[in-house]
């Protein structure tokens, strides 16, 4: 869904801003641990793994 494209279904055809708003919607079924914020990282893959370990696994 983040990358877009046909594999993400109808939402994947939306503009990036629309897809982001869908991902961060308070009513979304995606895990949302706190308020929405941009955040910055030098290594997005490592940060995603760290967050998955801390919040999901």
Which position has the token pair 């793994």?
Answer: 49
pLDDT reported for residue 18: 86
Specify the higher pLDDT residue, 35 or 19. 19
Across 17-21, 23-27, 46-50, least confident range = 23-27
Token output for 38: 């941009």
What band does 31 get if pLDDT is binned at 50, 70 and 90?
A: low
Instruction: Please report, in angstroms and rounded to a whole number, the separation of the first and last CA atoms in the chain.
Output: 21
| 42/6 Cα distance (integer angstroms) | 29
| Phi and psi, residue 31, nearest 5° | -60, 130
């Amino acid at each position: 869904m983040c990358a877009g494209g046909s594999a993400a279904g109808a939402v994947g055809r939306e503009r990036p801003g629309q897809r982001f708003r869908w991902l961060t919607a308070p009513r979304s079924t995606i895990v949302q641990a706190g308020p929405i914020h941009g955040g910055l990282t030098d290594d997005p893959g490592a940060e995603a793994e760290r967050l998955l370990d801390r919040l999901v696994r």
